[in-house]
Amino acid sequence: MSYTAKSFSNEPSGPTVVTETIPGPKGKEAIAKLGEVFDSRCAYFVADYEKSTGNYIVDVDGNVLLDVYAQIASIPLGYNNPNLIEVAKSDKMIRAIVDRPALGNFPGADFEQIQRDLLKHAPKGQTHVWNGLSGADANELAFKAVFFNYLSKKRGFEKPFSPEEEASCMENLAPGNPEIAILSFKRAFHGRLFASGSVTRSKPVHKMDMPSFHWPTAEFPAYKYPLEQFSEENKEEDARCLKIVEERFQNWRCPIAGVIVEPVQSEGGDNHASAEFFQGLRDITLKYGAKLIIDEVQAGCGGTGIMWEHERYNITPPPDLVTFSKKMQSAGYWFHDPELIPNQPYRQFNTWCGDPKGIILAAAICDEIVNNNLLESIRETGDYLYDKLETVQNKYSKIVSNLRGKGKACFIAFDLPSGELRAEFLNKMKLAGVNVGGCAEVGVRLRPGLIFEKKHADIFIAAMDKVLSTL
């Protein structure tokens, strides 16, 4: 019996659309009222989460949609998962919510075990975790760890700050606040805060009007598809992009302390790279004494059919830091070098130092994935779905192109000819009973939960075929 059959006996057999538009009348009214107390302009529709179950999301108009977007890749095990609900009802979860501790100063007696439960699921080679509150927060915390480590090495780990350093940092000046940088890539997305915004390069709307750090950017490979037909061209693309990275290290106006990269650039268009590219980045960071940060916020926690996507590339030695959030329902970064722990207390610190309820849920999610072999299941579904999508691409070759994500479970994307046609496609897919999302200017990305099965893939393909026939 499949996981969905066992855990979601009341999951619908298929979508149901009862309104002529989505949102329908009740949804439009709900969005308007929400707009009185919240910026609701980005709302696609208003969901009824009490009625949503498994792979299906229900809106306030009563539309039942197959959800292959899953809260922008953030719901790993379906809506109203009964096993996670039991965890939510546990005594340790009640303590974490009601008596939420300031973990840095007043950790609870159970916090050591809570952390160890999470660390069981760390990427290969990672032995420590520092907790955060969101993906952007995780990345900014990782930058702080990298910068502290970089300057502590120069100063000497045991050497105290000089009076000049202490005085100058209070004025936002060197030497206490030196010019050092994090390198990122064009089309990258790492968050919408200040440092994370500085390394985000996917869309102007994410960072317009914000002060930013003058940090370097390099080019992420832009492959030709299908990969097997363009292997030589794509190898040349790897070499071209790595050459740019090394040139930045050699010529940037200030030292580059770290490189941050997604194993798959998701928001920026579902752009993939090879093992050779990622190993090349690792080699360059080692050569120039910089840290390698892998941003697993969207790809991590099983979305690509393995727990951590960067492990597919066998990066040697392992990345210095790996950030996580989204499907984990928690956030933070994994690391293995004890020297990434700041040389003094209260440097990497805030009131909460993470959120214990999220950490508890993250460990439970990972346990559920492992104990039920959900990675194997989603890989099988992904292979099945990709084959079906290849047939659709061949049938609608003037509309669908650059199908990508083969062998990476349901972490799949394809392109349409224009942003206008993409918007029409996404809207019509909702009316056909499927909630799916976009990326970059023309991409469509699939991000179902790990409980997505072949029967759900068939429903998606049928809806897609129906919609494409009208474009």
Which residues are identified as catalytic?
Answer: 189, 295, 326, 351
| Planar angle of CA 30, 358, 74, nearest 5 degrees | 55
| Residue among 220, 333, 308, 314 at smallest CA distance from 267 | 220
Query: In 297-418, where does DSSP find H-type helix?
Result: 356-371, 374-395
Tell me how far apart the alpha carbons of residues 370 and 349 are, in angstroms, rounded to a whole number.
32
Query: Residue 413: beta bridge partners?
Result: 404, 445
Asked if residues 76 and 450 have their Cβ atoms less than 8 Å apart, the reply is yes
Buried residues in 422-448 as b, exposed as e (16+ CB within 10 A): beebbebbbbbbbbbbbbbebbbbbbb
Locate tokens 């926690």: which residue? 301
On the 0-12 / 13-18 / 19+ scale of CB atoms within 10 A, 397 is exposed
Asked if residues 187 and 440 have their Cβ atoms less than 8 Å apart, the reply is yes
β-pairing, 291-295 vs 321-324, is parallel
DSSP 3-state of 352? coil
Query: Residue 130: beta bridge partners?
Result: 333
What tokens does 297 get?
């916020």
Asked if residues 323 and 332 have their Cβ atoms less than 8 Å apart, the reply is yes
Tell me how far apart the alpha carbons of residues 166 and 451 are, in angstroms, rounded to a whole number.
53
